[in-house]
Amino acid sequence: MFWLRSRRVVTIALAHAIEREAARRGCAPLPVLRRKGFLGFGWFVESIRATKDDWGPQYVAQTTDAEMGKDVHTFYVPIFDFEVMMTRDPANVQAVLATESQDWDIGEYRTASWAPMFGDGVFTARGEHWKHSRALVRPQFSMDQINDLDLIERHVQELFAAIDRRYSPCAGAGLDAGWTPKFDLLPLFYNLTLDITTELIYGYSVHSQNPSQRLELPVIPGYDAPDRENIGMHMDGGKLWIETRGAFGRFRWLLPTRKFYAHCAAIHKYADWFVQLRLSRGDKYLDGLQSEAGQPSKDRFVLLHELAKATKDPVELRSQTLNILTAGRDTTASLLGWVFYFLARHPGVLAKLRNEVVQQFGPFRQSGPTGIEFRVLRDSVPYLYAVINEALRMAPVVPLNERVALRDTVLPRGGGPNRDKPVFVPKGTQVLIPTFAMLRREDLWGPDVEQFRPERWVEDGGRKFGFEFIPFGGGARQCLGQHFARIKAAYVIVRLLQRYDRVENLEWPKDAPMKFHHTIENRSATGVQIRLHEASFPDGSV
Ligand code: HEM
């Protein structure tokens, strides 16, 4: 009882001090979401349930509109004694991520919930250690070799082979001629990006699309060979736990840990094997790799090999490479899934996009692609990028971001009756940035905000990116892999559309709402249920 009363006295005194400081800085009060349930835990429980039911991002957008109104974009969320703010105002988002980023860092709950699996890497580190991590990995992303289209093509060939093996198009002349049977394209994209990313990071692809392609590994005394079969499964399983642990915040100890730690151990064992090989072989690490790409091994870009020139710490090498592995695999696979999810539902967009692709790069040829070069892919297919942007707008791969105030600070907007006054943010406040909700603001995107319409990115000279569109984050911690991700996604889309001229949506019911399965990044919870129609060309090249 005494504890409660003294805590209340401290809280009231603190509230007065905050009010005085806010007034001194010319700030006005922020709207407050009504308290729901016992101590405000109603919101917490509802949001966890919505995430579990695969509509977490929509829940946040709809609840904000319904409870606060469509013109309130920054407000306090009262849950127990958490200091939580929510903002979908681009001006405030810019301050948090970019212009005032020195006052902010990622929250300790992110670090604590990710760390058992991903260690102290660029995603999870805070403060000075994050600066060190970013400086370590950043130079790798400016190297030309990271955009190795030959490497991507080899794995796209495996994707085609996997589709042919399991979902071969119907031969003959009936209504189904040229069509594959119905299948879910999404898991195939996760395999594709896993194969590409493991090769890029460790030099040895796991070849999940075709295990018979796996290179034989040397023996390292004292180390079991890495489990290349189940690495994707362990990543998915572990990330689901991370997501729930993050949502539980300081109450994550309530969750069981046995399965989570089993996934972590398997992933560590996998990465440690390559780290050990690199450390024992030194500069000769690449010598063991066959040259699948037709280029000498010494010219190949392998992230682990490059990072090990800067640090020999095995734990750091494990953590940094695993951080990039999850960033490289899951986000791009999710994006590719969403692109085909929308193309299947918008045949007009598909036809227009395919036309651009075939005009620029020609039809599909068994002999392999010609002319799909990095610069052409980057500069000469504007509608393709419009489609990618629109998919990222409709279904942002990272629908929620967050930061915690490192010191008392101010956000530029949201206070007072007109919501235009600066807002005081006490040290320790967590700010949630619901990217999805920002991308559903009608006042920013227009009355067709709910429609998939890539034209919005190209008409009237093209839309400029501001902080209302931050699928790759922004400011200090902006995504290091965004150009690589866009090029990789663009390449895969080009190759698939060269080969297939129609994509039919076979999800039932056809107009079912989008469902977001959230495991740090989100992916379509219903997969991408489609069938593909193989194009035929007069020259008979297919
Ligand atoms: C569609 C694909 C991708 C999306 C949507 C995406 C999104 C993001 C977002 C939103 C952030 C910022 C996180 C924050 O503010 O806390 C981020 C950071 C990052 N991304 Fe990506 N990403 C993608 C692909 C990639 C790829 C392919 C790589 C590397 C191969 C990569 C590497 C990174 C790294 C290293 C950071 C950490 C930056 C830091 O904290 O300093 N990303 N990404």
Burial (CB count <10 Å: 0-12, 13-18, 19+), residue 523? buried
pLDDT for the residue 328? 85
Closest residue to atom 15 of ligand 1, CA basis: 473
Q: How far is CA 13 from the centre of its chain?
A: 42
C-beta of 397 in contact with ligand 1 (< 6 A): yes
Q: How many whole angstroms separate alpha carbon 65 and alpha carbon 70?
A: 5
405 CA to middle of ligand 1, Å? 21
User: Cα separations (Å) of 133 from 119, 121, 130, 136, 319?
Assistant: 12, 6, 5, 5, 10
Going by pLDDT thresholds of 50, 70 and 90, the confidence category of residue 460 is confident
DSSP codes of every residue in 231-297: HHHHHHHHHHHHHHHHHHGGGGGGS--HHHHHHHHHHHHHHHHHHHHHHHHGGGGGGGS--TTSS-G
486 CA to middle of ligand 1, Å? 12
Closest residue to atom 21 of ligand 1, CA basis: 479
Q: What is the pLDDT of residues 470-499, one digit of tens each?
A: 999 999 999 999 999 999 999 999 999 999
**Per-residue pLDDT for 81 more than 80?**
no
Q: What dihedral angle (degrees, nearest 10) is formed by the CA atoms of 291, 294, 295, 297?
A: 0
Closest residue to atom 39 of ligand 1, CA basis: 477
Say whether 524 sits in a helix, a strand or coil: strand
User: Cα separations (Å) of 55 from 89, 295, 416, 429, 431?
Assistant: 22, 46, 32, 26, 21
**Per-residue pLDDT for 237 more than 70?**
yes
Ligand 1 atom closest to Cα of residue 97? 15
**Per-residue pLDDT for 190 more than 90?**
yes
C-beta of 93 in contact with ligand 1 (< 6 A): no
C-beta of 40 in contact with ligand 1 (< 6 A): no
Over pLDDT 90: what percentage of the chain?
64
Q: What is the pLDDT of residues 514-542, one digit of tens each?
A: 999 988 889 999 999 999 999 986 555 54
C-beta of 246 in contact with ligand 1 (< 6 A): no
When mean pLDDT is compared over 179-188, 221-230, 362-371, the highest value belongs to 179-188
C-beta of 471 in contact with ligand 1 (< 6 A): yes
478 CA to middle of ligand 1, Å? 7
C-beta of 331 in contact with ligand 1 (< 6 A): yes
3-state secondary structure 29-56: CCCECCCCCHHHHHHHHHHHHHHHCCCH
Say whether 342 sits in a helix, a strand or coil: helix
Going by pLDDT thresholds of 50, 70 and 90, the confidence category of residue 403 is very high
Q: How many whole angstroms separate alpha carbon 482 and alpha carbon 326?
A: 14
Task: Give the Cβ contact number of residue 41 at 10 Å.
Answer: 13
Rg (CA), the chain: 25
Say whether 537 sits in a helix, a strand or coil: coil
Q: What is the pLDDT of residues 318-333, one digit of tens each?
A: 999 999 998 888 999 9
**Per-residue pLDDT for 379 more than 60?**
yes
Q: How many whole angstroms separate alpha carbon 242 and alpha carbon 399?
A: 16
C-beta of 481 in contact with ligand 1 (< 6 A): yes
Average the pLDDT over 121-132 and give the result: 93
Q: How many whole angstroms separate alpha carbon 401 and alpha carbon 93?
A: 10
Q: Going from the N-terminus, what domains does the chain have, and what CATH number goes with each?
A: 119-399+434-534 (1.10.630.10)
482 CA to middle of ligand 1, Å? 7
Average the pLDDT over 243-266 and give the result: 80
User: Cα separations (Å) of 189 from 158, 193, 333, 439?
Assistant: 11, 6, 5, 25
Q: Could you tell me which residues are beta bridge partners of residue 124? A: none
Burial (CB count <10 Å: 0-12, 13-18, 19+), residue 362? middle
Q: How many whole angstroms separate alpha carbon 117 and alpha carbon 244?
A: 14
Say whether 448 sits in a helix, a strand or coil: coil
C-beta of 472 in contact with ligand 1 (< 6 A): yes
Task: Give the Cβ contact number of residue 276 at 10 Å.
Answer: 18
37 CA to middle of ligand 1, Å? 36
127 CA to middle of ligand 1, Å? 18
DSSP codes of every residue in 88-114: --HHHHHIIIIITGGGEE--HHHHHHH
Ligand 1 atom closest to Cα of residue 197? 30
Tokens at residue 250, please? 């300081």
480 CA to middle of ligand 1, Å? 6
Going by pLDDT thresholds of 50, 70 and 90, the confidence category of residue 2 is very low
One-letter amino acid of 437: A
pLDDT for the residue 464? 80
357 CA to middle of ligand 1, Å? 27
Contact 538, 363 (CB under 8 A): no
Going by pLDDT thresholds of 50, 70 and 90, the confidence category of residue 296 is low
Average the pLDDT over 70-82 and give the result: 88
Residues with Cβ within 8 Å of 498's Cβ and at least 6 positions away in sequence, in order, are 357, 358, 361, 362, 363, 364, 369, 535
**How many residues in total does the chain contain?**
542
C-beta of 469 in contact with ligand 1 (< 6 A): no
481 CA to middle of ligand 1, Å? 6
pLDDT for the residue 247? 72
C-beta of 486 in contact with ligand 1 (< 6 A): no
Best residue among 430, 482, 516 to mutate for probing ligand 1's pocket (most ligand atoms within 8 Å of CB) is 482
What b-and-e string marks burial along 364-398, b requiring 16 or more CB atoms within 10 Å of the CB? beeeebeebeeeebeeebebbbbbbbbbbbbbbbb
pLDDT for the residue 291? 56
C-beta of 260 in contact with ligand 1 (< 6 A): no
* 67: enclosing H helix or E strand: helix 56-68
122 CA to middle of ligand 1, Å? 10
Angle, helices 186-202 vs 314-345, to 10°: value is 150
C-beta of 473 in contact with ligand 1 (< 6 A): yes
Q: Find the distance separating the first CA and the last CA of the chain, reported in whole Å.
A: 79
| 170 appears as a binding residue in the annotation | no
C-beta of 324 in contact with ligand 1 (< 6 A): yes
3-state secondary structure 168-220: CCCCCCCCCCCECCCEECHHHHHHHHHHHHHHHHHCCCCCCCCHHHCCCCCCE
pLDDT for the residue 285? 86
Average the pLDDT over 94-117 and give the result: 92
Best residue among 479, 482, 484, 523 to mutate for probing ligand 1's pocket (most ligand atoms within 8 Å of CB) is 479
Contact 523, 333 (CB under 8 A): yes
15 CA to middle of ligand 1, Å? 37
